[in-house]
Structure 1
Amino acid sequence: MSLVVPVQGAETLDDAPRIAVMSAFGPEWIALQEALVDRVDHSLNGITFATGTIEGKPVVLFLTGVSMVNAAMTSQLAIDHFNLESIVFSGIAGGVDPSRHIGDVIVPAQWGQYLDVILAREVDDAFVPPPFLEAPFPNHGMIFPQNVTVARDGAEPEDRFWFPVDAELLAVAEAVAAEIDLLDCVPDNQCLTHAPGVYVGGNGVSGAAFVDNAAFREYAFETFEAAVLDMESAAVAHVAYANEVPFIAFRSLSDLAGGGEGANEMGTFMGLASDNSAAVVKAFLAALP
């Protein structure tokens, strides 16, 4: 016989219905903090949650910290302690689609955790995953991506790879995409070779690795048809899906994940990409009903 103990609800730090607007690390949320009006800070588990309004919409603004675990943990904290209507991620990422360029803002329709993997043994000059584990995608050497198991209230656990963003939020993003003017030069006059744009739809992938490898970038594009990869968005999409909270992510390309000529350019264009993502998010918030 098992005993089911009722779980007490978490303390709500702010009762107002709000949109969670999150970024992974400091440079990504500078422009968003500057746009925050009537700021009030709340501290929880070492995280600062700043409430106020951006473009007239009630928000709670915070940093998740870099990494899938940090992103998932902080997202769940926000869901547990605030009255969230939706979750919006703003940040930088690596470009995977060869037709996209640094400075572009990518708004995928779905996200997958592509580095939840089997590391397979080598047998007769081939990598072979264990027969009791499913490997639904082609491998990259010993790396075989898997689905993840998701538990939701009132439903049986399910195995899935893709976590969709909210269709209504995506439609708003698409409506504002053509109206945004994006930065194409950094303060020391280093400029992009292509005018940046906003691209809505398609796939994004996330995992616990900073990717700066041309061969792996090509694999991610061919296998998942991914336009972008990062280290947080799919984890937040997973948490939002499990909690039935609408989610969308805006990611501006700071580098090409190893696909560019010469050294990785994130250090040069990180600020520009952060500002471009924030500009689209602010326009998106302004356009929300």
Structure 2
Amino acid sequence: MKYTVLLFLFLSQTAFSQQYKSRPITGLLGAFGAEVELVKQTLKNPKTVVVDGVTFTTGRLGKQKVVVAETGIGKVNAAMTTALLLDHFRPERVLFTGIAGGTNPELQPGDIVIAGRTAHHDYGSITDKNTPTRQTRNVITKQFNPVYFPADTSLMRLAEKVVKDIPLEGIPLASGGVSDRPVKVVTGTVVTGDVFVASPIKVSSLRADFGADATEMEGAAIAQVCYQINVPHLIIRSLSDRADAEAHIAFDKFYPTAARNSAKLVIAIVQAL
């Protein structure tokens, strides 16, 4: 019986993956207009395509054909835009650029987290009658997804390689200068929820429960959609704040630097494909 179930799941997933016929194009997503604009400015021969009200921009980045879109903030918007992207353009891979709140005490605004894995931090059972779980359920196989959605290994390794040669921006200081501390880049865990975290208590919880390095509002939704359809993906996040009580102040101050650092890495990844 065990092997019959495993065979069924394998055949179901294989059959669906065969339905998804990718095209030679890379999908690039960002939550905010400013994040997306940084990528769009690098495109050659940009053209606008509107799909069910969502604006996509196609063009070339280096030797690669790409399609760029703003997902909007939050998991539902991110999932919707990703689904439209996959259905209409059929990209070979999906990359996300954006900012996040830092939950790793060794990181500061401007630093980058290459998401080796992502998870929903606001999903799970909250009643005593059910077995607690943080696992979403795959609508295709009807089985539980993993708690952590793994990034595509090839894209992750490529990001780790190319980031070494990118001139990332240091952190602006109150005096108007720039921090001498080099930008730190880690491959780690990014957690997603429909909430802007600005609480040291919540930061400690996310760190303890998930081993989170950063928290944001879109990544795991994009990762789940890609995972369920077997499309390679990678989430890149640059920190705009530490997700603490001062997060709103830090966000306003460091957002431009963080957005540029994340966009630079995503652009470099595409150019290196």
Q: TM-score, normalised by structure 1?
A: 0.81
Q: Which has the larger radius of gyration?
A: 1
Task: Spell out structure 1 runs of 4+ moving beyond 3 A.
Answer: 185-194
Matched residue of 1:99: which SS? coil
Partner residue in 2 for 1:209: 195
Partner residue in 1 for 2:204: 218
Q: Which of the numbers 259, 262, 266 marks the counterpart of 1:277? A: 262
Deviation at 1:41, TM superposition (A): 0.6
Deviation at 1:224, TM superposition (A): 0.5
From the two aligned structures, give the one with the greater helix fraction: 2
Q: Which of the numbers 58, 61, 77 marks the counterpart of 1:54? A: 61
| 1:110 is aligned to 2:117 | yes
Sequence identity, in percent? 30
Partner residue in 2 for 1:79: 86
Q: C-alpha distance in 1, partners of 2:32/2:46? A: 19
Q: C-alpha distance in 1, partners of 2:272/2:256? A: 24
Matched residue of 1:158: which SS? coil
Partner residue in 1 for 2:18: none
What does the per-residue CA deviation read over 1:149-208, in whole Å, with 9 as the maximum and x for residues that have no partner? Answer: 1123xx4422431111111111111111222221125599364473213222x2111010
Q: Residue type matched to 2:232 in 1? A: P
Partner residue in 1 for 2:144: 158
Q: How does 1:188-207 map to 2 (within 5 A)?
A: 189=176, 191-192=178-179, 194-200=181-187, 202-207=188-193
From the two aligned structures, give the one with the greater strand fraction: 1
Deviation at 1:108, TM superposition (A): 1.5
Q: C-alpha distance in 2, partners of 1:216/1:156? A: 31
Deviation at 1:22, TM superposition (A): 0.4
RMSD of the TM alignment (CA)? Answer: 2.2
Note if contact 1:40-1:51 (Cα within 8 Å) is conserved in structure 2.
Answer: yes
Q: C-alpha distance in 1, partners of 2:226/2:147? A: 14
Note if contact 2:239-2:258 (Cα within 8 Å) is conserved in structure 1.
Answer: yes
Partner residue in 2 for 1:90: 97
Matched residue of 1:212: which SS? coil
Q: C-alpha distance in 2, partners of 1:110/1:60? A: 23
Matched residue of 1:157: which SS? coil
Partner residue in 2 for 1:35: 42
Q: How does 1:171-190 map to 2 (within 5 A)?
A: 171-185=157-171, 189=176
Q: How does 1:111-150 map to 2 (within 5 A)?
A: 111-119=118-126, 129-131=127-129, 133-136=130-133, 146-150=134-138
Q: Residue type matched to 2:223 in 1? A: A
Q: Which of the numbers 267, 272, 276 marks the counterpart of 2:252? A: 267
Q: TM-score, normalised by structure 2?
A: 0.86
Alignment size in residue pairs: 252
- Evaluate the alpha carbon distance shift between residue 263 and residue 73 of structure 1 in structure 2; reply closer, same or farther with a 3 A threshold: closer
Q: Residue type matched to 1:135 in 2? A: P
Partner residue in 1 for 2:70: 63
- Evaluate the alpha carbon distance shift between residue 159 and residue 134 of structure 1 in structure 2; reply closer, same or farther with a 3 A threshold: farther
Q: C-alpha distance in 1, partners of 2:88/2:199? A: 39
Q: C-alpha distance in 2, partners of 1:282/1:151? A: 32
Structure 2: state its 5+ residue gaps.
1-20
What does the per-residue CA deviation read over 1:11-52, in whole Å, with 9 as the maximum and x for residues that have no partner? Answer: x9xx95210000001121222111011101101122111001
Q: C-alpha distance in 1, partners of 2:107/2:114? A: 12
Deviation at 1:53, TM superposition (A): 1.0
Note if contact 1:114-1:206 (Cα within 8 Å) is conserved in structure 2.
Answer: yes
Q: C-alpha distance in 2, partners of 1:257/1:190? A: 24
Q: C-alpha distance in 2, partners of 1:157/1:151? A: 8
Greater shift after overlay, 94-103 or 23-32? Answer: 23-32
Greater shift after overlay, 156-165 or 53-62? Answer: 156-165
Deviation at 1:147, TM superposition (A): 1.6
Note if contact 2:189-2:213 (Cα within 8 Å) is conserved in structure 1.
Answer: yes
